[in-house]
Amino acid sequence: MNSLSHVAIIMDGNGRWAKKNNSPRKNGHLQGSKNIKNIAEFCIKKKILYLTLFAFSFDNWKRPTSETDYLFYLFENFIKQNLDILLKKNIKINFIGEKIKIPSKIKKLINKVEMLSKDNNGLFLTIALNYSSKHEITNSVNKLFLKKKNKKVSILDIEKNLYTSNIPNPDLLIRTGGYSRLSNFLLWQISYTELFFVKKFWPDFNFKDLNLIIKKYKMIKRNFGKV
């Protein structure tokens, strides 16, 4: 039976959940944000060490400004309302992504959260905010060009300069919302990750759904290139 230390989730389907429920898109995002704490608490219960959530893509700037502004408003409120709870649960919070375009008050909040939780050693919660895997890999290679000059670059060199250099690669990646695509998320890190695509929209995805996927994951024969 496979061990499981790191779960990554593409939290998709908030807008379509809202449409299905004859509700404004904003309400879909609101319900989706409420689901984060529930899933994090279940991961703690299951003794999963790492949880990585795709919260906002670099490509999401293509959406209307009113929607992107609301998403950052939700993010700010979620952190402010739940920070004490997250800290009490010994959760270490980490953010990955580009700092470009992120509002200054959100940057300050990110720095505050990371500082307050830096000594926690429970669940390692990573939030991908304004994240692009292609940008991440490009940034890693550019850093190496400056350091290495004409020397050869290895796989390990690139991995050491990724945003996720301090955490293991995901064992399991889940995408809610019914689409079977990766949307520029952790492309380097998931080369041997088990992928699960779920029809349920993110606001409806619950601990029972996650538990069922975990059970299926543990029964998979993982070869990593071997027979």
- Could you tell me if 18 and 24 are in contact, meaning their C-beta atoms sit under 8 angstroms apart? yes
Q: Which residues contact 182 (CB under 8 A, 6 or more apart)?
A: 10, 173, 175, 190
Secondary element (H or E) of residue 51: strand 50-57
Pairwise CA distance, residues 67 & 15, whole Å: 11
Residue type, 43: C
12 tagged catalytic: yes
Query: Which residue in 27, 60, 120, 184 is the catalytic one?
Result: 60
Which tokens sit at 155? 């796989």
3-state secondary structure of 99: coil
Active site residues: 12, 60
